[in-house]
Amino acid sequence: MNRSRRPEIINPVLSLPAAQRINELEPQARALLAEILKDLSRDARERAQKSWRTNKGPMAVYWKAVGAYATHLCRAVR
């Protein structure tokens, strides 16, 4: 398999040991967790945009990273 197509390369969260524990959760719990993470990602990205517009670059970067990790975690849960 091409390196760039491997799931753990596309989503680095999948290579973490804790990601394996997510797979052990019941489907209902995973669905709820995915929904929460999606909300977190959306909110963090909105905060990043607001911070960028108000010239708060370091906070924009922080919220952008939070949004990216929340998205990766959400995809790992699904």
Q: How confident is the model at residue 1 (pLDDT cuts 50, 70, 90)?
A: low
Which pLDDT value is given to residue 41? 97
Rounded to the nearest angstrom, the gap between the alpha carbon of residue 34 and the centroid of all alpha carbons in its chain is 10
- Tens of pLDDT along 22-71? 888 999 999 999 999 999 999 999 999 999 999 999 999 999 999 999 99
* 2 pLDDT above the threshold of 80: no
Rounded to the nearest angstrom, the gap between the alpha carbon of residue 77 and the centroid of all alpha carbons in its chain is 10
For residue 8, give every residue at least 6 positions away whose Cβ sits within 8 Å of its Cβ, in sequence order, or none.
Answer: 14, 15
Higher-confidence residue: 56 or 5?
56
**Cβ atoms of 76 and 22 closer than 8 Å:** yes
Which pLDDT value is given to residue 17? 87
**Cβ atoms of 9 and 35 closer than 8 Å:** no
Average pLDDT over residues 5-33: 88
